[in-house]
Amino acid sequence: MSTQETAANAAGTRTPYFPASRTAVSGLFLLNGIFMGAWAPKIPEFASRLSLSESQLGLMIVCFGIGSLVLMPIAGVLIAHFGTSRALKASTLIFLPTMLLLSLAPNIWSGATAIFLFGGLTGAMDISMNANAVEVEKSMRRAIMSSCHAFWSLGAFLGATTGGFLIETIGVIGHAALLTVLALIGLAALWSSVLPDKSHPAETRQKVRLPLSPLPWLIGIMALFSMIPEGSILDWGALYMRDELGATLALSGFAFGAFSATMAVMRFAGDHVRDRFGAVKTLRVSTVLAIIGMVLAGFAPNAYVAMVGFAICGIGISNMVPIAFSAAGNLPGFAQGVALSVTTVMGYSGALFAPSSIGFIAEHTSFAWVFSVLPLLLLVVLLLSKHAVHADVRQKH
């Protein structure tokens, strides 16, 4: 913990708005986002190098999801035993070389192993950095989770937009090597500023196991039902606008573009909103906006109305998941890593696996019908929104 933060805690006041610990965890969110964004333009070359059919590539992507779901709970246990700082540094250090493994894999089995590790270690890093962000929130007595996720979105944008150019310019291996070296330099610069955990002696004595109380699972459902609509818009929004609303190929690309743009902007603003109005009220208003946007998109008479609906949905969904993660990380009586891993695994399983089921359903109905029904999941989030009170850190400590 920095001198400024220690002095502020001793005086019982808030820390500076952007202390070193916040810079560090925000930088690691950005770094993780860059790697995830950089993976997108590598997928066609990865599939070509390994001679993968579309179905085989689909199975490879499933390996990514399985890796995340396997290593996320393990990361949660390690956080409970060793703290967020050690888990975050270790998972990041091990994660960074996986981009090179993906770029060097010569056959299907090595490719499957590489993508399993890539998905699993990015998931482990994800849980660790969310847990560390919770610790920074506690030390600062203000919300920062939404802006951390905004930095992730910014990183994904940077990784995706520069990846294709770099691959064409310096090659697949050169791109991966450059990214890895720059990331290691960035990690070294941030290393000493990562906030070390406060002492939790009761938590270290606690036997780490899946929680028996329903509360972490209810917050996990909030994250799950918030991320299913997000994944659905990402995977199917453009196809819906093109095939069912008659949009051009260029215009259909704005389905997720409008959603992600408003989501990124609102994530940078979300911490201020949550500090001002509280997590419960922020979550409820956000959920209502997400419902309005999704209904508008589902019943849209044309692509332009659908695009407005997706943009409104982005405003709503932007801060729902960060609030759920903050609530899980602050649950009283639970090992932080375990409660947060339950929420994260449930949430990301929605983003990873639900869209494939939605595609199957839409094949027998329509995407308009799917987007019109998805607000029912958001109604469940609204009903559970009282549990978001645990995300408020202003009155704790």
Q: What is the mean pLDDT of the chain?
A: 81
For domain 215-391, say whether CATH 1.20.1250.20 is its number.
yes
pLDDT higher at 285 or 342: 285
pLDDT for res 47: 81
Minimum mean pLDDT range among 50-64, 229-243, 347-361:
347-361
Query: DSSP for 259-287?
Result: HHHHHHHHHHHHHHHHHHH-HHHHHHHHH
pLDDT for res 263: 82
pLDDT higher at 28 or 322: 28
Examine the pLDDT at 235 and tell me if it is beyond 60.
yes
Examine the pLDDT at 394 and tell me if it is beyond 50.
yes
* Phi, psi dihedral angles at 114 (to 5 degrees): -65, -45
- CA torsion 310→312→314→319, rounded to 10°? -160
Predicted confidence band of residue 249 (pLDDT cuts 50, 70, 90)? low
Predicted confidence band of residue 30 (pLDDT cuts 50, 70, 90)? very high
**Residue 369 contacts residue 306 (beta carbons within 8 Å):** no
Give the pair of three-digit tokens for residue 59. Answer: 């199975």
pLDDT for res 91: 94
pLDDT for res 176: 93
- 184-203 pLDDT per residue, tens: 999 999 999 998 875 444 44
Sketch the domain layout of the chain as residue ranges: 3-203, 215-391
Examine the pLDDT at 382 and tell me if it is beyond 80.
yes
pLDDT higher at 254 or 288: 288
pLDDT higher at 283 or 232: 283
Examine the pLDDT at 210 and tell me if it is beyond 60.
no
Examine the pLDDT at 8 and tell me if it is beyond 60.
no
Examine the pLDDT at 389 and tell me if it is beyond 60.
yes
pLDDT for res 381: 92
pLDDT for res 378: 93
**Residue 33 contacts residue 155 (beta carbons within 8 Å):** yes
Query: 3-203 adopts what CATH topology?
Result: Growth Hormone; Chain: A; (1.20.1250)
Mean pLDDT for the stretch of residues 44-57: 79
Predicted confidence band of residue 16 (pLDDT cuts 50, 70, 90)? low
pLDDT for res 97: 95
Q: Could you give the percent of the chain with pLDDT greater than 70?
A: 84
Give the pair of three-digit tokens for residue 20. Answer: 């070193």
The span from the CA of 371 to the CA of 291, in Å, is 10
pLDDT for res 204: 46
Examine the pLDDT at 396 and tell me if it is beyond 60.
no
pLDDT for res 12: 47
The span from the CA of 105 to the CA of 115, in Å, is 10
Q: Could you give the percent of the chain with pLDDT greater than 90?
A: 27
- 111-156 pLDDT per residue, tens: 999 999 998 999 899 889 988 988 888 888 887 888 888 898 888 7
pLDDT for res 17: 64
> In Å, how far from its chain's centre is CA 268?
14
